[in-house]
Structure 1
Amino acid sequence: MSPLIDTQFDGHVHTRLCNHAEGEMEDYVRAAIERGLRTMCFLEHLETEINYQPSCWLEDETFVEYFAEGARLKEHYQDQIEIRLGVEMGFNPLAVEATQARLQHFPIERIGLSCHFHLYEGRHLNLLSRRRQSLDILAELGPDQVLSTYLDTLTVAVATVNCDVLCHLDAALRHLPGISFNAEHKIQIGHLLDTVKTQETALEINTSGFDYRGSAFPAPWIITEALKRDIPLQAGSDAHRPQDVGRYFQDLPDYLEPLRPA
């Protein structure tokens, strides 16, 4: 049987440039080399017209710095590791054209798709943050409805944006206790995966989930549903510290194999 995932490629790495991680780009490259990775991809946050503070993404001037330093590192370490420069594009359905224009402005080699924010009364609430300023309001709005909107937004995003991989599918509201998907959510996830398949997008197996909840993002049953549709899986550490690069990748083959459809 062919392996389900390439554990020598980390496709989701952040740095201090995103304002909520630590370490320089070169620190992450050196960590990836020490881990024995063949390829790594920086996937820095790109958000457009999001009304939220503090900002947890790169502005255009910082992206100029990012791609310049990335080009230097690609050349300097070309004999040791392949380095790719990408973005984790947060989907804002009210800023599709503006986002597409920004994507075309930079030499992006890989696009990871995500949705980090929920619009409420003219401002955005962070779906993945543990900050109470967002969590308390999201809890009041009702997690079931928020998750339903999130999944619908992701489905539209996958159908709209030409992306390479869908990131941490079920990580929304990960800091609210007792979060689970209801029957309607599971139907929505099925539609989302059908769209992922149609658009020939990969599904990320995000190993930061092992630290958050003891299992990767997305949940095992979602991975099985993706495999039933022959959706390719790609590993991402979602590293926000150099030591997180490639975390738990050595465990992925044994973790994923029981999820392979019979």
Structure 2
Amino acid sequence: MLVNGDFHVHTQYCPHGSKDAMELYVQAALKKELNCLSFTEHAPLPSGFRDPVPNNDSTMQWEDVPAYLAEANLLRKKYKKEIEVNTGYEVDYVLGYENETIKLLKLLKANPVYSILSVHMLRAPGGEYVCIDYSPEEFSRIIQLFGSVEKVYEEYFQTLKRAIQMDLGPYKPKRIGHITLIDKFSALFKSNYDYSSDINEILSLIKENNYSLDANTAGFFKEYCGICYPPPSILEKAASLDIPLIPGSDSHAANDIAKGFGLLPANLTYSKPL
């Protein structure tokens, strides 16, 4: 890897993660001899959008944002001679809440270089919003709402393309997160949907907009997935288009820093956020 860093990292401010303090992540990164670390906590959801997961725990709460930033800044200063520490957000694109997301990004003054734009939420045909990576049971229910697993896949990629194309203002993240997250439960719910043309279009849009791609290793360790987001063949295609590949563990616990990095294609070059 060209840059020895982990650029997709969550913290104790994520209500569905561990209680590991941010400093433990920094110390874990040092133990693994990383020279860069980017915190990318889930940004609060846009105003008026109700979290669809049962425990309403998809993202950081607004009241925790100042503490998140202050703690990251303290660690940046404390460890500046040992490791580069940066702060951003993982921002949800929610169809129909674009204006609210623009306002959210302005309030956060999110650093677009160190932030990630991801799709976790879809709008089902009846208007209900759903979270695609919550649980196998919920994904099964989502399939029922859409009518087939193929229709869920189709809507996911259409929403992702819209996210990449949408003008969300100057604070829009420049990195697109785990573009095959829809495969998280693929071993349980077999799909005949061929998303190769969607991926080609998505990569073209990423290239056209000078964005980068999250090379996310979390999928390796998901029980019903077993492969990175996106798979090696897509990473190789992105690399052939000179799209920067930004490695991220998507860790929600300090012990998971850089987990799976050795499983990424060794023939490719990975870089820090640009």
Give the TM-score of the pair, scaled to structure 2. Answer: 0.85
Contact map agreement 1:6 1:234 (CA 8 A) in 2? no
- Aligned residue identity for 1:115: V
**Residue correspondence of structure 1 range 14-29 to structure 2 within 5 A:** 14-22=10-18, 23-29=20-26
Q: What's the CA shift for 1:114? A: 0.7
Residue 69, structure 1, aligned to residue 71, structure 2:
yes
Identify the residue that residue 146 of structure 1 maps to in structure 2.
152
Residue 236, structure 1, aligned to residue 248, structure 2:
yes
- Aligned residue identity for 2:77: E
| Structure with more helix by fraction | 1
How many residues are paired up? 251
What CA deviation, in whole Å up to 9, does each residue of 1:118-164 have, x standing for no partner? 223443221111152x2222222211111111111111111224322
**Residue correspondence of structure 1 range 61-100 to structure 2 within 5 A:** 61-100=63-102
From 103, 118, 122, the counterpart of 1:118: 122
Contact map agreement 1:10 1:235 (CA 8 A) in 2? yes
Identify the residue that residue 198 of structure 2 maps to in structure 1.
188
Secondary structure at 1:118 match in 2: strand
Moved more, 201-210 or 43-52: 43-52
Change in CA separation of 1:241 and 1:255 when aligned onto 2, cut-off 3 Å: farther
Structure 2: gaps (5+ residues) = 270-274
Identify the residue that residue 272 of structure 2 maps to in structure 1.
none
Q: What's the CA shift for 1:252? A: 3.1
Change in CA separation of 1:105 and 1:181 when aligned onto 2, cut-off 3 Å: farther
Distance, in Å, in 2 between the alignment partners of 1:240 and 1:180 is 28
**Residue correspondence of structure 1 range 125-204 to structure 2 within 5 A:** 125-130=130-135, 132=137, 134-140=138-144, 141=146, 142-160=148-166, 161=168, 162-176=172-186, 177-180=188-191, 182-183=193-194, 185-204=195-214
Distance, in Å, in 1 between the alignment partners of 2:82 and 2:15 is 28
Moved more, 209-218 or 38-47: 209-218
Distance, in Å, in 1 between the alignment partners of 2:226 and 2:3 is 19
What CA deviation, in whole Å up to 9, does each residue of 1:49-100 have, x standing for no partner? 2441322101221112111111111111111111111111110121112112
RMSD, aligned α-carbons: 2.0
- Aligned residue identity for 2:82: Q
Distance, in Å, in 1 between the alignment partners of 2:92 and 2:247 is 19
Identify the residue that residue 38 of structure 1 maps to in structure 2.
35
Distance, in Å, in 2 between the alignment partners of 1:199 and 1:105 is 24
Structure 1: gaps (5+ residues) = 258-262
Contact map agreement 2:153 2:182 (CA 8 A) in 1? yes
Give the TM-score of the pair, scaled to structure 1. Answer: 0.88
Contact map agreement 1:41 1:83 (CA 8 A) in 2? yes
Change in CA separation of 1:7 and 1:250 when aligned onto 2, cut-off 3 Å: farther
Identify the residue that residue 260 of structure 1 maps to in structure 2.
none
From 2, 5, 13, the counterpart of 1:6: 2
Distance, in Å, in 2 between the alignment partners of 1:149 and 1:182 is 11
Moved more, 199-208 or 52-61: 52-61
Distance, in Å, in 2 between the alignment partners of 1:200 and 1:192 is 12
Distance, in Å, in 1 between the alignment partners of 2:226 and 2:74 is 37
Distance, in Å, in 2 between the alignment partners of 1:178 and 1:123 is 21
Q: Percent identity?
A: 26
